[in-house]
């Protein structure tokens, strides 16, 4: 039997999701201010927020297949919230790099983007994320019509670009980025399979 989410339980689910999204940021502040961020706190913050953005991205991609499996359509209403956390963590990640590592040197930032391919890939992913975040409002969605869905399919491109950015940024520890490639590859394959299945059912 399909499960049902009332608007009250959806509200509390969203409150929980905000809690899950905000707790790692509070933890990061406490870790840094208590001096527990290791020998290189700047690198620690850049890595922590980058991984936070990637984990939130994986969660965003998980919502649709889980909603389908549990027949919980209302769960899809949480996608915007989780998607905005991807954007928030990615913004913190870039701000940390720009302010703490490059000390607000714009020229150096543009040099990094043009000279280091992994930074360029990250920047493209971020620009796409920015486009999705500013068009995530219902009013914009209505105005854009079919173009909205086409633009928001950009999440799949982001899901490929971010693990590439991660893989390229590491020197030797490649196991973690490869693991993310597999997880995201599997989630994208599930989507292709589900949309083919749906098309097949509609064609019948
Ligand atoms: C202009 C855009 C971006 C810049 C300048 C940037 C910069 C960086 C830098 C400097 C590193 C650390 C590399 C090192 O180990 O020295 C890094 C790693 C990383 N970035 Fe980005 N990034 C950008 C966009 C993004 C976006 C959009 C995401 C995710 C949505 C992301 C996720 C990650 C991840 C997961 C890592 C690896 C963290 C780790 O090593 O544990 N980045 N990025």
Provide residues with CB under 6 Å of ligand 1.
Answer: 46-47, 50-51, 53-54, 57, 86, 90, 93-94, 97, 119, 122-123, 125-126, 129, 162, 165-166, 169-170
Q: What is the pLDDT at residue 145?
A: 95
- 88 Cβ partners below 8 Å, 6+ apart? 21
* Closest atom, ligand 1, to C-alpha of 126: 27
Give the pLDDT band (50/70/90) at residue 111: very high
Q: Which long-range contacts (CB under 8 A, 24 or more apart) does 1-9 make?
A: 2/70, 2/71, 2/72, 3/70, 3/71, 3/72, 4/72, 4/74, 5/72, 5/74, 5/75
Residue range 66-85, pLDDT digits in tens: 998 888 888 999 999 999 99
Distance 52 CA to ligand 1 centre (A): 10
Instruction: Output the residue whose Cα is nearest ligand 1's atom 25.
Output: 122
Residue range 30-56, pLDDT digits in tens: 999 999 999 999 999 999 999 999 999
Name which residue leads in pLDDT, 186 or 6: 186
Q: What is the pLDDT at residue 173?
A: 86
Distance 93 CA to ligand 1 centre (A): 7
Q: What is the pLDDT at residue 83?
A: 98
First to last CA, the chain: 24
The pLDDT of 120-147, averaged and rounded, is 97
Distance 13 CA to ligand 1 centre (A): 29
The pLDDT of 158-172, averaged and rounded, is 94
Give the pLDDT band (50/70/90) at residue 204: low
User: What integer best gives the mean pLDDT of the chain?
Assistant: 94
Q: Cβ distance 72 to 3 under 8 Å?
A: yes
Q: What is the pLDDT at residue 2?
A: 58
Percent of the chain with pLDDT over 90: 83
Q: What is the pLDDT at residue 1?
A: 54
Phi–psi pair at 44, nearest 5 degrees: -60, -45
Instruction: Output the residue whose Cα is nearest ligand 1's atom 8.
Output: 119
Give the pLDDT band (50/70/90) at residue 172: confident
Write down how long the chain is.
Answer: 204
Distance CA 47, CA 18 (A): 21
Cα–Cα–Cα angle for 94, 33, 162, nearest 5°? 25
Distance 29 CA to ligand 1 centre (A): 19
Distance CA 121, CA 143 (A): 30
Instruction: Output the residue whose Cα is nearest ligand 1's atom 16.
Output: 169
Distance 119 CA to ligand 1 centre (A): 7
* Closest atom, ligand 1, to C-alpha of 109: 5
**pLDDT of residue 95 exceeding 70:** yes
């Amino acid at each position: 039997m399909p499960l049902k989410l009332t608007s009250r339980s959806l509200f509390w689910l969203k409150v929980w999701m905000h809690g899950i999204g905000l707790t790692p940021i509070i933890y990061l502040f406490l870790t840094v201010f208590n001096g527990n961020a290791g020998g290189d706190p700047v690198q620690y913050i850049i890595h922590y927020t980058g991984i936070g953005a990637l984990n939130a991205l994986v969660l965003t991609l998980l919502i649709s297949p889980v909603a389908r499996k549990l027949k919980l359509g209302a769960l899809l209403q949480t996608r915007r919230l989780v998607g905005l956390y991807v954007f928030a963590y990615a913004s913190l990640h870039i701000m940390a790099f720009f302010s703490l590592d490059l000390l607000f040197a714009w020229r150096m930032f543009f040099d990094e983007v043009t000279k280091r391919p992994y930074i360029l890939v990250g920047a493209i992913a971020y620009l796409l994320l920015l486009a999705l975040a500013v068009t995530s409002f219902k009013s914009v969605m209505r105005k854009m019509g079919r173009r909205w869905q086409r633009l928001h399919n950009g999440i799949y491109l982001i899901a490929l670009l971010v693990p590439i950015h991660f893989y390229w940024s590491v020197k030797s520890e490649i196991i973690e980025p490869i693991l993310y490639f597999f997880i995201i590859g599997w989630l994208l394959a599930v989507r292709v399979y589900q949309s083919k299945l749906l098309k097949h059912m509609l064609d019948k």
